[in-house]
Amino acid sequence: MLGTGMHYYFPGMIVGFIILQTAIVAPTLFKKLDMGNFGKVIRALWPKFFLFLTIFGAATLASVYYEENPKNAHYIIAGLTTLFALVCYLMIPATNKATDEGNQKLFNILHKLSVYLTVAILLMNIGFLFV
């Protein structure tokens, strides 16, 4: 057994990681780097961000499985976290291609979708503690 309450650690890491990335790292890079370097760094950073969220979501799912009395809501949150993060990760090549080709409409759609999914991940993992 992983121990009582272990399944709460991963959602906490997910919340902290999202806040760190979106509130501190990305805005700082945007302010301090020219657009060319900003684009290069962001293209290297965001895939890792979504990959780690996918891994943390899967770790949450595994830790919930090993709990004595798991709640269905915890399974749902962990599963959706994993799925949403993976979708965001898999959308990155299409988002980059839309940017490279100047397809602003497609970029906006893909970017908004990744933002909405990330916000959903954040809110679900905050709510994880309360369900």
pLDDT tens figures, 5-17: 778 899 999 999 9
Which of 123, 91, 121 shows the shortest CA–CA distance to 109? 91
pLDDT higher than 70, residue 2 = no
Amino acid at 58: A
pLDDT tier, 4 (very low <50, low <70, confident <90, very high otherwise): low
What is the predicted pLDDT for the residue at 1? 47
2 or 83, which is more confident: 83
Task: Please tell me the distance from the alpha carbon of residue 11 to that of residue 20, in angstroms, as a whole number.
Answer: 14
Q: Domains of the chain: which residue ranges?
A: 6-130
Q: What is the pLDDT of residues 50-67, one digit of tens each?
A: 999 999 999 999 999 998
pLDDT tier at 3 (50, 70, 90 boundaries)? low
Residue found by looking up tokens 């709510």 in the block = 127
pLDDT above 80 (res 49)? yes
- pLDDT of res. 104: 98
**CA-closest candidate to residue 60, choices 15, 116, 103:** 15
What amino acid is encoded at 51 in this protein?
L
Given a cut of 90, is residue 125 above it in pLDDT? Answer: yes
| Three-state secondary structure call for residue 127 | helix
User: Which residues lie closer than 8 Å to 76 by C-beta, 6 or more apart?
Assistant: none
**Which has the closest alpha carbon to 129: 5, 25, 28?**
5
